[in-house]
């Protein structure tokens, strides 16, 4: 099934609902007259959103249904289209105000949604939503709605997609980031859904909004977008492309239901004196992008040893170094894979562990583990005191499952190091938002990923004419979306990803290696945060959990985890419907 969808970008006139409805009506008719069958309007597009108080908002709220929904119903009936529109709602029975969106079709009001994850300004007048995360089957496809800050929480779109939504309509008033937002791209890519994001632009009470209304495809690619100004963005959606083939592990995600950051982390993790957070500190963390050879662990360790020694010699203060997944698993058969495997107490692992001891540093690497009975993809953490811990990959690629490898049994174990509380993953785990989320919920300051080079390449975005605060890029950015960066932002943790170097020395493909920042929407210069080439090399950054630094405060407070709505997330741990 194919349909034409439109995102309307608009700068509302605060307090003038009648004027806003008139101008939005013109934009709706412009889109519908060109064939759009699904049209999305910005968040609170009929009123503006920057209210001093509930009292001020009381001049603009209305019931659903009410005058505004009747206005949109008439337009949808006339043009035979579907519409998602943001508005200020009052519940007639309780008098509670909500930041809401209505879904209207040719036959009238279909349903509505109340924003669950409120932004800073919403709390001045609105209550958190109480309608859950509904999905509607319509003649233009299965639709879910997420309003603005809802998109910052992977759980929102994950649940909507699990309920069958192929299109996520996003009325938004995004700010602080050049748009289309990297967060929107992540939500589309990880769930295999279309995102139709209608953003407002301009300024309201000193707040600068980002524009960038867009349509994003299930592969994360921005199909069409508009930088600034009032107008309409249109694109064709092929709903047969909206497919998520991931094999989730809902039985491992129960820690997503725990509000571990609802209380101050020092109190929560220090309760009963059991595994408190490590003291504040800082240290250098490195990621090594190295070329692998054919063969098992013995050959890879021979290649890695001089590179590890060189890294320590060049950076004497280096405390932790992440290596890639050292074993290529392109071979299919179980026995051929077993020939590449090693035990956790084997001589190859002991040799790498000896380096950690001799150089007084911590090493993380990936390997193919043979327990004598089963095969696993495993990430290992070794320090001067010996083996600290290991993680067996929970989300295995299909070819490894078919070859008989066993998936790991857990996702939330963390370990102590001098640079903070550390979690371990392997490359394919980053495709699943639950992976880093579980570790962050368990208090991880740093997640170390032994990658296999198969992360998606970054996506570029052109410049913006909209003025932004100092730390927001306005020029063209070839690394606007990078999966590692998004995972660090949304979980408030450092993410250190090491991938193998490319096989072709002339290739310029970015491999995904980097040490990514926990502070949401703060972009370090790309060359300081990631390896911008596929060749062998080392990147070293200082990471901090010190409250005197912004990143340190962010990594210990994890704002997004504190603002989660865990009572809504039960579908994430139930039977997988994806």
pLDDT, tens only, 395-416: 999 889 988 999 999 999 999 9
pLDDT of residue 332: 62
Q: How confident is the model at residue 578 (pLDDT cuts 50, 70, 90)?
A: very low
% residues pLDDT > 90 (the chain): 86
For 250-273+282-454+492-564, CATH number? 3.60.110.10
What is the pLDDT, as a whole number, of residue 471?
A: 67
Contacting residues for 69 by C-beta, under 8 A, at least 6 apart: 102, 104, 109
Residue pLDDT, tens place only, 271-294: 999 999 999 999 999 999 999 988
Contact assessment for residue 140 and residue 117, using Cβ atoms and an 8 Å cutoff: no
Q: Which of 317, 264, 319, 346 is nearest to 553 (CA)?
A: 264
Please give the average per-residue pLDDT across 104-109, as a whole number: 98
Annotation says 115 is catalytic: yes
Token pair belonging to 131: 């309608």
Confidence (pLDDT) at 328: 79
Query: What pLDDT score was predicted for residue 335?
Result: 78
**For this structure, is 448 an active site residue?**
no
575, pLDDT greater than 80: no
Residue 506 has pLDDT above 60, yes or no: no
**Section 111-131 average pLDDT:** 97
pLDDT, average across residues 246-261 = 95
423 three-class SS: strand
CA dist., res. 518 & res. 529, Å (int):
11
pLDDT of residue 448: 98
Q: Which DSSP string do the residues of 206-249 spell out, in sequence order?
A: TEEEE--EEEE-TTS-EEEEE-SSSEEEEEEEEGGG--------
Band the pLDDT of 245: cuts 50, 70, 90.
Answer: confident
Is residue 148 annotated as a catalytic residue, yes or no? yes
What is the average pLDDT value for the chain, to the nearest integer?
94
How many other C-beta atoms lie within 10 A of the C-beta of residue 128? 17
φ and ψ of 163, to 5 deg: -85, 0
Lowest mean pLDDT among 43-57, 158-172, 335-349: 335-349
Of 426, 408, 431, the residue nearest 323 (C-alpha): 426
Summarised one tens digit per residue, pLDDT across range 523-548 is: 878 888 999 889 999 999 999 999 99
Sign of CA dihedral 128, 134, 135, 138: negative
pLDDT of 454 reads: 85
Catalytic residue among 73, 76, 89, 115: 115
Cα 474 to Cα 179, 226, 462, 477, 552: the distances in Å are 10, 14, 8, 8, 26
pLDDT of residue 213: 98
CATH for 2-241 is 3.60.110.10
pLDDT in tens, 368-389: 999 999 999 999 999 999 999 9
- Mean pLDDT across the stretch 321-350? 86
Mean pLDDT confidence for 194-215 = 96
- pTM exceeds 0.85, yes or no: yes
Would you state the structure tokens that stand for residue 502, as one six-digit string?
């490319």
- Does residue 472 surpass a pLDDT of 70? yes
**How far is it, in rounded angstroms, from Cα 103 to Cα 258?**
32
- Among 148, 179, 438, 482, the active-site one is 148
> 109 phi and psi, to 5 degrees?
-70, 125
- For 21, residues 6+ apart whose C-beta sits below 8 A from its C-beta are 46, 68, 71
pLDDT tens digits for 418-445? 999 999 999 999 999 999 999 999 999 9
Mean pLDDT, residues 66-73 taken together: 97
pLDDT at 259: 95
**Is pLDDT at 446 greater than 70 in this prediction?**
yes
* Distance in angstroms (rounded) separating the CA atoms of residues 390 and 424: 7
CA angle 79, 83, 85 (to 5 degrees): 135
Across 5-33, average pLDDT: 96
Distance CA 554, CA 494 (A): 10
Nearest Cα residue to 184 out of 465, 193, 161, 395: 193
Q: Where in the chain are all domains bearing CATH 3.60.110.10?
A: 2-241, 250-273+282-454+492-564
pLDDT in tens, 164-203: 999 999 999 999 899 999 999 999 999 999 999 999 999 9
Q: Which residue has the higher pLDDT, 330 or 300?
A: 300
Which residue out of 43, 434, 490, 554 is catalytically annotated?
A: 43
């Amino acid at each position: 099934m194919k349909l034409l969808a439109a995102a309307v970008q608009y700068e509302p006139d605060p307090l003038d609902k009648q004027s806003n409805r008139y101008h939005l009506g013109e934009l709706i008719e412009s889109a519908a007259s060109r064939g759009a069958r699904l049209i999305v309007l910005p968040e609170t597009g009929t009123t503006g959103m920057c209210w001093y108080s509930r009292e001020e908002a009381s001049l603009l709220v209305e019931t659903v249904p009410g005058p505004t929904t009747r206005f949109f119903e008439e337009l949808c009936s006339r043009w035979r289209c579907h519409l998602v529109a943001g508005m200020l709602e009052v519940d007639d029975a309780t008098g509670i105000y909500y930041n809401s969106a209505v879904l209207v079709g040719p036959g009238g009001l279909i349903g509505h949604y109340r924003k669950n994850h409120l932004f800073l300004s919403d709390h001045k007048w609105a209550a958190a939503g109480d309608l859950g995360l509904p999905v509607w089957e319509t003649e233009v496809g299965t639709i879910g709605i997420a309003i603005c800050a809802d998109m910052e929480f992977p759980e929102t779109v994950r649940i909507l997609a699990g309920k069958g939504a192929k299109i996520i309509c996003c009325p938004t008033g995004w700010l602080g980031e050049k748009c289309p937002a990297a967060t929107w791209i992540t939500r589309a890519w990880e769930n295999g859904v279309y995102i139709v994001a209608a953003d407002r632009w301009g300024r309201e009470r000193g707040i600068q909004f980002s524009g960038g209304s867009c349509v994003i495809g299930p592969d994360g690619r921005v199909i069409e977008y508009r930088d600034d100004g009032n107008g309409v963005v249109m694109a064709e959606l092929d709903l047969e492309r909206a497919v998520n083939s991931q094999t989730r592990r809902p039985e491992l995600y129960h820690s997503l239901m725990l509000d571990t950051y609802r209380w101050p982390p020092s109190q929560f993790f220090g309760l009963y004196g059991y595994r408190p957070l490590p003291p504040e500190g800082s240290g250098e963390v490195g990621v090594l992008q190295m070329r692998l050879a054919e063969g098992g662990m013995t050959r890879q360790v021979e290649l890695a040893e001089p590179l590890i020694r060189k890294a320590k010699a060049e950076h004497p203060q280096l405390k932790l170094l992440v290596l890639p997944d050292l074993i290529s698993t392109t071979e299919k058969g179980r026995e051929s894979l077993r020939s590449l495997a090693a035990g956790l107490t084997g001589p190859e692992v002991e040799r790498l562990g000896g380096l950690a001891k001799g150089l007084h540093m911590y090493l993380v690497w990936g390997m193919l583990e043979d327990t004598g009975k089963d095969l696993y993809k495993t990430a290992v953490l070794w320090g001067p005191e010996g083996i600290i811990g290991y993680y067996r990959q929970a989300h295995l690629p299909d070819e490894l499952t078919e070859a008989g490898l066993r998936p790991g049994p857990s996702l939330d174990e963390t370990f102590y190091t001098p640079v903070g509380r550390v979690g371990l993953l392997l490359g394919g785990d980053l495709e699943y938002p639950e992976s880093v989320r579980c570790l962050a919920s368990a208090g991880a300051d740093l997640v170390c990923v032994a990658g296999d080079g198969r992360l998606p390449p970054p996506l570029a975005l052109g410049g913006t004419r909209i003025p932004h605060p100092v730390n927001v890029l306005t020029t063209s950015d070839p690394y606007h979306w990078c999966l590692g960066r998004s995972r660090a932002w949304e979980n408030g943790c450092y993410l250190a990803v090491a991938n193998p170097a490319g096989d072709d020395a002339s290739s310029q493909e970015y491999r995904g290696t980097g040490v990514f920042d926990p502070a949401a929407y703060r972009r370090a210069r790309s060359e300081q945060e990631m390896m911008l080439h596929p060749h062998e090399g080392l990147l070293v950054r200082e990471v901090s959990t010190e409250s005197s630094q912004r990143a340190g405060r962010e990594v210990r407070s994890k704002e997004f985890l504190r603002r989660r709505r865990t009572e809504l997330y039960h579908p994430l741990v139930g039977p997988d419907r994806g």
